[in-house]
Amino acid sequence: MPRRFAAITFTDSVKAAQSRYGSREANRRFEELEEPRPVLSRTEQDFIAARDGFYQATVGQNGWPYVQFRGGPKGFLKVLDEHTLGYADFRGNVQYISVGNLAAESRIALILMDYPNRRRLKIWARARVVDEADDPALIARLEMPAYRAQVERAVLLTVEAYDWNCPRHITPRFTVEEIQGRLLEPLQARVAELERENAELRAAAGF
């Protein structure tokens, strides 16, 4: 069977573009790789659990795509099993564009970024919106008790395909937490060490 994400994305017009620009044969070999139903391995699960946000694309009834950023505490996008993801939908600007789009078309795409390590995971899925009144146990499973945000509903994602994308052209970016941990803490520790050495030398010299 064709690789699942290629079966979804390599439409006739995409194949025509590949032929035009000289990559069709390479992509044909990629397309024909055998693959069972996509399973989120430990690698994907750990990557997803470490993210504090992702880009999400839905399609409106008029055919226009809609992309938004979904953010929250690390791990708010939860792996429920090796085929299923879910997240608590926090109250936002009350436009409900994604929710409305998903009511008419369940297909959804996510891009999860790891900017410091230049990694990117793309996910294609079918989404189902679940209101709190319909499944309070699911909402409780997905909510983040330490995060002060109103949960309005849950979004369940059945993964249809995923792909690790090329790191080329990903510009490294760092959060305040990452800057503190990767850059400032080692520098602060080195400064403290030098200050101790300086104090010891001054004391030995009688200053």
**pLDDT tens-place string over residues 83-130:** 999 999 888 788 999 999 999 999 999 999 999 999 999 999 999 999
Phi and psi at residue 174, to the nearest 5°: -130, 140
Crossing angle of helices 24-31/12-20, nearest 10°? 140
Question: In percent, how much of the chain has pLDDT > 70?
Answer: 98
pLDDT confidence tier of residue 132, bands split at 50, 70 and 90: confident
Give pTM, 2 decimals.
0.83
Enter the DSSP assignment of 83. Answer: T
* Residues ≥6 apart with Cβ < 8 Å to 73: 52, 144, 146, 147
Q: Give the C-alpha separation, 201 to 203, whole Å.
A: 5
Q: Give the C-alpha separation, 197 to 107, whole Å.
A: 61
> Looking at the DSSP assignment, which residues form a beta bridge with residue 55?
69, 111
Task: Identify the pLDDT of residue 2.
Answer: 59
> Looking at the DSSP assignment, which residues form a beta bridge with residue 155?
87, 129
Extended strands (E) in 135-207: 151-164
Q: Nearest-CA neighbor of 74 among 35, 47, 106?
A: 47
Find the length of the chain.
207
Fold annotation for 37-171: Pnp Oxidase; Chain A (2.30.110)
Residue type, 199: A
- The residue extents of the domains of the chain are 1-36, 37-171, 174-207
Q: Give the C-alpha separation, 166 to 103, whole Å.
A: 32
